[in-house]
Amino acid sequence: MKEISNLPDDFMDQTYIKIGRNVKRIREERGISQLKLAQGIGHKSVSIISLAEIYHNKQHFNIEHLMKIAYILDVDVCEFFKTT
Protein backbone atom coordinates (compact mmCIF):
# COMPACT_ATOMS: atom_id res chain seq x y z
CA MET A 1 0.00 0.00 0.00
CA LYS A 2 1.27 3.46 -0.88
CA GLU A 3 1.62 6.13 1.77
CA ILE A 4 -0.46 9.26 1.23
CA SER A 5 2.49 11.30 2.46
CA ASN A 6 4.30 10.34 -0.77
CA LEU A 7 1.63 11.99 -2.92
CA PRO A 8 3.08 15.09 -4.61
CA ASP A 9 1.81 18.37 -3.19
CA ASP A 10 0.45 19.47 -6.55
CA PHE A 11 -1.18 16.14 -7.43
CA MET A 12 -4.77 17.41 -7.27
CA ASP A 13 -3.94 20.68 -9.01
CA GLN A 14 -2.33 18.75 -11.88
CA THR A 15 -5.30 16.36 -12.01
CA TYR A 16 -7.81 19.21 -12.25
CA ILE A 17 -5.71 20.89 -14.95
CA LYS A 18 -5.61 17.65 -16.95
CA ILE A 19 -9.37 17.17 -16.62
CA GLY A 20 -10.08 20.74 -17.70
CA ARG A 21 -7.83 20.46 -20.75
CA ASN A 22 -9.43 17.18 -21.77
CA VAL A 23 -12.96 18.52 -21.36
CA LYS A 24 -12.03 21.53 -23.50
CA ARG A 25 -10.32 19.40 -26.17
CA ILE A 26 -13.21 16.97 -26.49
CA ARG A 27 -15.81 19.75 -26.34
CA GLU A 28 -14.05 21.57 -29.18
CA GLU A 29 -13.67 18.35 -31.21
CA ARG A 30 -17.44 17.92 -30.93
CA GLY A 31 -18.05 21.54 -31.95
CA ILE A 32 -19.92 22.38 -28.76
CA SER A 33 -19.64 25.86 -27.27
CA GLN A 34 -19.03 26.54 -23.60
CA LEU A 35 -22.50 28.04 -23.36
CA LYS A 36 -24.18 25.01 -24.93
CA LEU A 37 -22.30 22.68 -22.58
CA ALA A 38 -23.08 24.83 -19.54
CA GLN A 39 -26.76 24.84 -20.44
CA GLY A 40 -26.62 21.09 -21.04
CA ILE A 41 -25.49 20.49 -17.47
CA GLY A 42 -28.09 22.86 -16.06
CA HIS A 43 -26.25 26.18 -15.76
CA LYS A 44 -27.23 29.50 -17.33
CA SER A 45 -23.71 30.92 -17.54
CA VAL A 46 -20.51 29.73 -19.20
CA SER A 47 -18.48 30.61 -16.11
CA ILE A 48 -18.55 27.09 -14.64
CA ILE A 49 -17.18 25.68 -17.90
CA SER A 50 -14.73 28.45 -18.74
CA LEU A 51 -13.22 28.65 -15.26
CA ALA A 52 -12.97 24.88 -14.76
CA GLU A 53 -11.43 24.28 -18.19
CA ILE A 54 -8.48 26.47 -17.21
CA TYR A 55 -8.60 25.75 -13.46
CA HIS A 56 -8.84 29.48 -12.75
CA ASN A 57 -8.76 30.25 -9.00
CA LYS A 58 -8.89 26.50 -8.38
CA GLN A 59 -12.36 26.23 -9.93
CA HIS A 60 -12.87 22.66 -11.10
CA PHE A 61 -15.50 20.21 -12.25
CA ASN A 62 -17.11 17.98 -9.64
CA ILE A 63 -18.12 14.37 -10.29
CA GLU A 64 -21.70 15.36 -11.18
CA HIS A 65 -20.41 17.85 -13.75
CA LEU A 66 -18.06 15.26 -15.22
CA MET A 67 -20.74 12.59 -15.50
CA LYS A 68 -23.15 14.99 -17.22
CA ILE A 69 -20.44 16.35 -19.50
CA ALA A 70 -19.39 12.82 -20.46
CA TYR A 71 -22.99 12.02 -21.32
CA ILE A 72 -23.43 15.18 -23.41
CA LEU A 73 -20.11 14.72 -25.21
CA ASP A 74 -20.79 10.99 -25.64
CA VAL A 75 -17.50 9.84 -24.13
CA ASP A 76 -16.52 7.62 -21.25
CA VAL A 77 -15.75 9.75 -18.19
CA CYS A 78 -12.31 8.08 -18.11
CA GLU A 79 -11.36 10.15 -21.17
CA PHE A 80 -11.12 13.21 -18.95
CA PHE A 81 -8.36 11.63 -16.85
CA LYS A 82 -6.07 10.58 -19.69
CA THR A 83 -2.71 12.18 -20.33
CA THR A 84 -2.57 13.40 -23.90
Can you list the domains of the chain with their CATH numbers?
A: 33-84 (1.10.260)
pLDDT by 10s per residue, the chain, length 84: 999 999 999 999 999 999 999 999 999 999 999 999 999 999 999 999 999 999 999 999 999 999 999 999 999 999 999 997
Q: How far apart are CA 25 and CA 48, in angstroms?
A: 16
The predicted structure's pLDDT at residue 25: 98
Q: How far apart are CA 28 and CA 25, in angstroms?
A: 5
Coil, strand or helix: which one is 33? coil
pTM reported for the whole predicted model = 0.94
Q: How far apart are CA 28 and CA 70, in angstroms?
A: 13
The predicted structure's pLDDT at residue 67: 98
The predicted structure's pLDDT at residue 84: 78
